[in-house]
Amino acid sequence: MGASIYDFSVATSSGEQSLADYKGKAVLIVNTASRCGYTPQYKGLQAIYEKYNKDGFEVLAFPCNQFGEQEPGDDTEIKSFCDMNYSITFPIFKKVDVNGKAAHPLYNYLKQQAPGLLGLKDIKWNFTKFLIDKDGKVVKRYAPMTEPSQIEDDIKKLL
């Protein structure tokens, strides 16, 4: 298990990217889906990204098809959907599993560091959010229904 998110690499459309590239920044990591009741949160995520990116804030999206098969598309379709509907400019990584045997090691780390309600570790649904400080440590986990704007005060404290 890593000591921070910087110990992990994630798949992009062009290969692997180390999360160490985000050292010194506050980061919000979100498992996303294009056909979910929470999908409109992309708009809020883009808004807080635009508002705080210049101050050292990043949003990292990880599409996931483990909840109601609400992200059936391939990486190209997902990116196209996000561009067309929400003009997303933050990184959208390759689709991952967040639970189970095939869960991405990053998500195993996040769940270990910030269990959900009643100490349960599994991600319950799309748009679960993890706020990471500038040292790569998990600060807080947010439920899917938490709107990005509701996290703004916590983000400002980290910048």
Domains of the chain: 5-158 (3.40.30.10)
- Alpha-carbon span 112 to 159, nearest angstrom: 24
66-81: pLDDT as tens digits? 999 999 999 999 999 9
Stated pTM of the model: 0.96
Question: Looking at residue 2, what is its pLDDT?
Answer: 63
pLDDT exceeds cutoff 80 at 1: no
Secondary structure E strands in 74-155: 129-132, 138-142
Residue 106 CB contacts under 8 Å (≥ 6 apart), including other chains: 5, 8, 10, 19, 29, 62, 96
Distance of CA 84 to the CA centre of its chain: 20
pLDDT exceeds cutoff 80 at 131: yes
Q: Is 36 a catalytic residue?
A: yes
The catalytic position among 33, 36, 78, 103 is 36
Question: Looking at residue 129, what is its pLDDT?
Answer: 98
